[in-house]
């Protein structure tokens, strides 16, 4: 069970980090632009493209944080596969 903890911590940490970054960036937008965003916690940018430079920067940040969260999620999955490999090989798990 202890070997599953790093995977869970990575996934939860990546999601939390992304939500904090997006919430902070959404809070920095003017009220008019903030109303165009999707609901909390995703804060999706509008579909039609960027209405202003601030929204373009926000959309770029939204994509970037999504990629980072996906990479960390992939690392968590790889760790789970490694743990499964160890279990199938007969290594004792703590």
For residue range 51-88, list pLDDT tens digits in order.
788 999 999 999 999 999 999 999 999 999 998 888 88
> Which pTM value belongs to this model?
0.82
Residue 62's Cβ-count burial label (10 Å; 0-12, 13-18, 19+) is buried
pLDDT at residue 86 in the model: 85
Identify the sign of the CA torsion 55, 57, 62, 63. positive
Query: Mean pLDDT across the stretch 21-38?
Result: 92
């Amino acid at each position: 069970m202890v070997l599953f903890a790093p995977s869970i911590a990575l996934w939860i940490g990546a999601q939390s980090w992304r939500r904090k970054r997006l919430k902070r960036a959404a809070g920095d937008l003017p009220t008019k632009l903030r109303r165009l965003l999707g609901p909390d916690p995703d804060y999706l940018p509008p579909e039609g493209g960027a209405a202003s430079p601030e929204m373009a920067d926000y959309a770029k940040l939204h994509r970037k944080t999504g990629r980072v969260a996906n990479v960390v999620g992939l690392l968590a999955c790889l760790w789970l596969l490694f743990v499964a490999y160890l279990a199938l090989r007969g290594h004792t798990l703590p």
